[in-house]
Amino acid sequence: MAEKFDAIVVGAGVSGLAAAYTMAKAGLSVIVIERGQYPGSKNVMGGVLYRHMMDEIIPDFWRDAPLERPVVEQRFWFMGRESVVQTGYKGMEWAKPPYNNFTVFRGKFDQWFAKKCIEAGALIINETVVEECLIKDNKVVGVRTDRPDGDIYADVVVLADGVNSILARNLGFHREWRPNQVALAVMEVLKMPSERIEERFNLDKGMGATIEIFGDGTLGMIGTAFIYTNKEHISIGCGTLLSQIREKHIKPYELLEYLKQHPIVRPLIAGSEPCEYYAHLIPEGGYDSIPKLVGDGVLVVGDAAQFVNGIHREGSNLGMTSGHFAADTIIHAKKIGEYDERALSHYRDVLYNSFIIKDLKKYRNASHTMEANPKFFNHYIPASNKAMSEMFIVDGKSKADRQRLAFERITEGRSKLGLVSDMLKIWRAVK
């Protein structure tokens, strides 16, 4: 099997497939190596795929790809023990082609995307683990797989091996992630008839909604819970920084069950049938955790490069765009016949001028600020719930008294100056 390709892509997730598709279309010989039985079988995503970035790789993909529902409403819940403060946006411009984003099942979508790669000329090998990068003269020249005689050679290796990216770590591109650089998320997919989903979520036929939940959905730990609508399933999950759930000694599946039984959540999912249970790490380190991205004969894309914008729950779009950029760089490298770090560093330059690194840089302090100020999650969210309750109670007290009570709920246990300083901190972290 000691064949030589123009490029080897490790991992058939959306980042790797975006790279493979773009290179194959340009006529390069590409092999994708996937450890699961089929692309998507090891991949876990809450479920929102953004249309624009995928359209740049396969124009009008949404006419053909297996998608669940176009998202027309994005809700945000700030949840207390038995209450919720809500905001969000619903817009019918998202109900029309070309749409803004979709819920998807990666088990289906990635198989479709892989088929497109094969049609474009790429080779996809499933059920194969890449154990290490082959190195010659300090340059990556291929990979060693767990198959007999499983060495494969190429001019460039694209590491799209996901959040655990042991290959990039072994190359010394990053140190082992720390527990506060990753979120541990668990999720269940629940079966529910499509008409019932549409009734419960107030949706037109075929349209979808997402709910991001802050506060009690993660018991005040830094993280989010979420509920997404699919065609005939609901995805429900929660994720917190691994450092936080470890410290609290909470079992993730019991946190998920707590969410499912929460009085605000329970009526939405009542009568549904669990189908599958998942766990996944989400890279949350942001800008300051981006590893070395380019070496001699090697590039890192997607989750392996920590390309996740946790504040906006974006990841797959950053991943596929990084895969696209990596492919463009390799296509150019082939033209000039040079694959060293200098030739491939174009990838890094393009990334730093794109939304990917600009967005990660914008929020570089957000995660640290929240970690240093857990009160944003465990004080202000319950307090805002109590304040809203005070505002809406009608009991003969004057409105001025009611507003004073509401404000006291927010400032309970802290000074007004402290409140101003906290608000400034959160503003600075996300501005």
Partner 1 sequence: MGDIKIKVNIEDRLYLNRYAANTVSHLSIKDQTVCAKCKEKPCTDFCPAHVYEWKEGRIVAGFEGCLECGACRIGCCHDNIEWRFPRGGNGVQFRLA
Q: Which residues bind partner 1 (CB under 8 A)?
A: 35-38, 40-45, 47, 81, 105-108, 126-129, 145-147, 163-164, 166, 176-179, 182, 184, 186-189, 216, 219-220, 233, 235, 242, 245-246, 249-255, 257-258, 261, 274-281, 378, 382
- Specify the residue, 332 or 379, whose C-beta has the smaller distance to partner 1: 379
Report, in Å, the least distance between residue 44 CB and partner 1. Answer: 5
How many whole angstroms separate alpha carbon 138 and alpha carbon 157?
Answer: 14
Report, in Å, the least distance between residue 111 CB and partner 1. Answer: 10
Token output for 111: 């198989």
SS3 171: coil
- Specify the residue, 156 or 190, whose C-beta has the smaller distance to partner 1: 190
- Specify the residue, 29 or 41, whose C-beta has the smaller distance to partner 1: 41
Report, in Å, the least distance between residue 255 CB and partner 1. Answer: 6
Report, in Å, the least distance between residue 411 CB and partner 1. Answer: 19
- Specify the residue, 249 or 399, whose C-beta has the smaller distance to partner 1: 249
Contact 237, 185 (CB under 8 A): yes
Report, in Å, the least distance between residue 132 CB and partner 1. Answer: 12
Report, in Å, the least distance between residue 152 CB and partner 1. Answer: 13
- Specify the residue, 153 or 278, whose C-beta has the smaller distance to partner 1: 278
Contact 252, 186 (CB under 8 A): yes
How many whole angstroms separate alpha carbon 228 and alpha carbon 212?
Answer: 9
Report, in Å, the least distance between residue 276 CB and partner 1. Answer: 5
- Specify the residue, 138 or 261, whose C-beta has the smaller distance to partner 1: 261
CA dihedral 223, 52, 227, 184 (to 10 degrees): -30
Burial class of 395 by CB neighbour count within 10 A (0 to 12, 13 to 18, 19+): exposed
Tell me, rounded to whole angstroms, the distance of Cα 50 from its chain centroid: 11
- Specify the residue, 331 or 410, whose C-beta has the smaller distance to partner 1: 410
Burial 64-79 (b: 16+ CB within 10 A, else e): ebebbbbbbbbbbbbb
- Specify the residue, 22 or 218, whose C-beta has the smaller distance to partner 1: 218
Residue 78, CA distances (Å) to 35, 102, 202 in order: 39, 23, 20
- Specify the residue, 126 or 403, whose C-beta has the smaller distance to partner 1: 126
Residue 86, CA distances (Å) to 38, 74, 348, 381 in order: 39, 11, 40, 11
Length in residues, the chain:
431
Token output for 267: 């009526």
Tell me the Ramachandran region of residue 223: left when phi exceeds 0, alpha when psi lies from -120 to 50, beta otherwise: left
**Amino acid identity, residue 101?**
N
Report, in Å, the least distance between residue 171 CB and partner 1. Answer: 17
Report, in Å, the least distance between residue 91 CB and partner 1. Answer: 26
**DSSP β-bridge partners for residue 48:** 103
- Specify the residue, 402 or 414, whose C-beta has the smaller distance to partner 1: 414
Q: Which helix (H) or strand (E) holds 235?
A: strand 233-241
Instruction: Give every CB contact of residue 335 below 8 A, 6+ residues apart in sequence.
Output: none
Report, in Å, the least distance between residue 227 CB and partner 1. Answer: 14
